[in-house]
Amino acid sequence: MTIVNDPELRARANEAAVSAMLASQPVLVDVLPALDALPGMTPRTILTSGAPLPWAAYDGGQRRAIIGAALYEGLARTPEGADALLHAGEIVVAACHDHGCVGSVTGATSASMPVLVLEDLRSGRRGHCLVYEGSDRERLTYGVWNDKVHRQLIWIREVLAPRLASALRAAGGIPVSPIIRRALGMGDDLHSRNTAATAVLFGQLVEPMVDANGFDKHTREALEFIRDNDLFFLHLGMAAAKCVADAGAGSPGSSIVTAMAISEKEFSIRVAGTGSRWFRAPIPTLHAKLFDGITPDEIAFMGGESLITETVGLGGLSAAAAPSLQDYSGGTAARMVETTQTMYSITHTEHPLWKIPYLGFRGVPFGIDAGLVASSGVTPRIHMGASRREGGHAGAGLLIAPLAPFVEAIDALDPEGAPSRAASLH
């Protein structure tokens, strides 16, 4: 592994990874059933967020969501029946990230659920994510399965997805990077806040949506759903970020982070030089602002891969762009500016197009370098949603990533240097 012991070679590998990521041009081209869109997907596979765990390890929201997805697909008739099939491996649980996909919170994604298809114009590489489920606190996304959740998933599959798909074909696809660029200038961080991005997307969707579908009751419902859900764009941004991050994956020797994800139990990362290997650690405390009536003891993690937005410089890394989120992220706008400024110390470069007005149009911190994280001890700042143990959306806050996975990743890239790094950390 001589390549990784040489700082100059590491720098070159990181430059290659980041250049490939920056060259990605994700375009929203279609909406398709997960079975048709995702590589390796089967009718009996259920994808979920985070580095995968044995089925028995899922005992909270992710478990409920995966069982819900099994019932939604008709793979079992009762939760107990689904549980037995999952134990027996007759329903397979797999990681979203291993199937070209990213999941929001639980990320429970099954065969017939429609996914957004983002394609990198340059490489043809695709990234996917479920269509946003709506703003109801009770969602499969947030570990809830009931009749109302079921009806909403059917509406998305039968009404929203086909209309969106035909609109996208009429439009010839919608490039996502320019929308992100514009939204950063309009107060979005593109993780916890997607208000502007959704409004810009809506403007681009109206004509092709009506052209392709006419202006009937269902078109109207679809347009209203997109317009009225400020976070609608989040899942597009996530799938686009998956496209971008995957472009850097597999660069030998590179310490650039290509994924960050959580499950119920763990925070995990991948780096470009070690492919699909996960580096794992327990999840730290989320500093959250909770909805009225919800107390901190009610909160529990149930997975999440929206951290892919931070992986490409958005979300917490772009905190300075979104002062409206101050109550959820540090308390003041000044703290959010500091957050972004700190992130430049652990990133490889600045994005040439995605810029933050408040910082004199400086590009967002881009390309988290696990080497810089490991040597400085500064870890990524992440904006993320909070969930209730019993299910449901509970608020949002700031997560400070744990240091261990970054150190482990560097140790894996450079086993010979590991002992001296360990000594210097103690």
The yes or no reply on residue 314 touching a copy of itself (CB under 8 A) is no
Where does this chain touch a copy of itself (CB under 8 A) — which range of 197-205, 269-277, 382-390, 393-401? 197-205
Least Å distance, CB 160 to a copy of itself, is 16
The yes or no reply on residue 277 touching a copy of itself (CB under 8 A) is no
Q: For the chain, give the longest Cα–Cα distance.
A: 67
The single residue listed with the structure tokens 């070690």 is 274
Among residues 332, 353, 415, 416, the one that binds a copy of itself under rule CB under 8 A: 332
Among residues 36, 80, 158, 224, the one that binds a copy of itself under rule CB under 8 A: 224
Distance CA 129, CA 157 (A): 14
Beta-strand relationship, 101-102 and 126-130: parallel
Q: 113: closest CA among 57, 75, 169?
A: 75
- Positions in 361-400 near a copy of itself (CB under 8 A): 361
Among residues 44, 218, 227, 421, the one that binds a copy of itself under rule CB under 8 A: 227
Contact 234, 306 (CB under 8 A): yes
Among residues 357, 377, 415, 417, the one that binds a copy of itself under rule CB under 8 A: 357
Where does this chain touch a copy of itself (CB under 8 A) — which range of 127-135, 204-212, 272-280, 286-294? 204-212
Distance CA 177, CA 180 (A): 5
The yes or no reply on residue 185 touching a copy of itself (CB under 8 A) is yes
How many residues contact a copy of itself, by CB under 8 A?
27
Distance CA 204, CA 9 (A): 43
The yes or no reply on residue 135 touching a copy of itself (CB under 8 A) is no
CB-based burial, 328-356: b 16+ in 10 Å, e otherwise:
bbbeebeebbebbebbbebbbbbbeebbb
CB closer to a copy of itself, 11 vs 210: 210
Indicate the SS3 state at residue 107: coil
The single residue listed with the structure tokens 């210097």 is 424
Among residues 229, 324, 341, 342, the one that binds a copy of itself under rule CB under 8 A: 324
The yes or no reply on residue 159 touching a copy of itself (CB under 8 A) is no
Distance CA 412, CA 426 (A): 19
Least Å distance, CB 360 to a copy of itself, is 6
Among residues 46, 180, 190, 200, the one that binds a copy of itself under rule CB under 8 A: 200
Least Å distance, CB 214 to a copy of itself, is 8
Least Å distance, CB 220 to a copy of itself, is 7
User: Residue 288 is inside which H or E element, if any?
Assistant: strand 286-290
Contact 277, 217 (CB under 8 A): no
CB closer to a copy of itself, 357 vs 417: 357
The yes or no reply on residue 358 touching a copy of itself (CB under 8 A) is yes
Least Å distance, CB 80 to a copy of itself, is 45
Where does this chain touch a copy of itself (CB under 8 A) — which range of 135-143, 169-177, 220-228, 393-401? 220-228
The secondary structure of residue 132, as a DSSP letter, is P
The yes or no reply on residue 344 touching a copy of itself (CB under 8 A) is no
Residues linked to residue 299 through DSSP beta bridges, in sequence order: 388
Contact 152, 133 (CB under 8 A): yes
C-alpha pair distances (Å), 135 with each of 225, 262, 294, 381, 384 = 10, 21, 17, 24, 15
Contact set with a copy of itself (CB under 8 A): 185-187, 195-196, 199-200, 202-203, 206-207, 210, 215, 220, 223-224, 227, 323-324, 326, 332-333, 357-361
